[in-house]
Amino acid sequence: MNNLHFENEILHETFNDYYSRVRVQEENLKAMDQKIQEIAKSEAFRERVGILRCFRGVDYLTAMFLLSEVNDFRRFKTDRFFYELFRTCSWRIFQRFEKKTNRDYKNGKSET
């Protein structure tokens, strides 16, 4: 990206401004991910996060998300009840992402 050249100075400055903002936000995300991982490794969460990380596709961020949403897994009578909640939440997140993507990029797909 740094190798891009613009004939127009205004375009060049605008690009540099936007690009630097993106880099700052990427660094902020990395810092937040690191902080979440530190919290997940703390005594208060280590055991529960470790159990959840045994599942394929679940790492620190997903485990902490699940723990913050569910709090106490004992409230589910069976694993099936938890699965239904997880499936519903995942589907809602996917639908929001799909609508946002369609709206933002206007790629011709109809919004659902």
- Average pLDDT, consecutive stretches of 10 residues, N- to C-terminus, the chain (112 residues): 82 92 95 96 94 86 86 78 73 62 53 44
Q: Can you give the pLDDT at residue 68? A: 85
Domain ranges in the chain? 1-71, 76-112
Q: What's the pLDDT at 46?
A: 95
Residue 110 pLDDT: 47
User: What per-residue confidence (pLDDT) applies to 112?
Assistant: 43
Q: What is the model's pLDDT at position 70?
A: 80
Looking at residue 30, its pLDDT comes to 95
Burial of 63 (0-12, 13-18, 19+ CB in 10 A): buried
Question: Given the structure tokens 């929001």, which residue do they identify?
Answer: 96
Tell me, what's the pLDDT at 15?
92
Tokens representing residue 7 in the block: 């004939």
